[in-house]
Structure 1
């Protein structure tokens, strides 16, 4: 591969941008898993709804990742 084919190739730039977006999404999912209960309690979600609301939010994140990947 010559030096000219490095980052100047549009395909390489697209892959790098997509990978950065993927890493941000994964970081967000990990962070959400860590702070989910505390943050849901902080906004006033009742204890009996923590699991239901947490699953709903996780599903919305997954749908967002799916749409973002298209």
Structure 2
């Protein structure tokens, strides 16, 4: 899975995205608030698309990967 933060120029590879602290995601520099997530990309298309649809997040599917957008 890849995760791109709004203020970073490059995405980073994440081994786990959601951390036990509500409203935060894992990042190389420690927990970041969800509001700073630009997008999340994964090869788990079916699972992630169902989740994104259920909570109303915009997404695209390309090259067998799903990208879910926090901001678009």
| Fold shared, TM-score > 0.5 on shorter chain | no
Structure with greater proportional helix content: 1
Shorter-chain TM range is under 0.3
Q: Which has the higher contact order (CA 8 A, sep 6+)?
A: 2
Structure with greater proportional strand content: 2
Larger Rg: 1
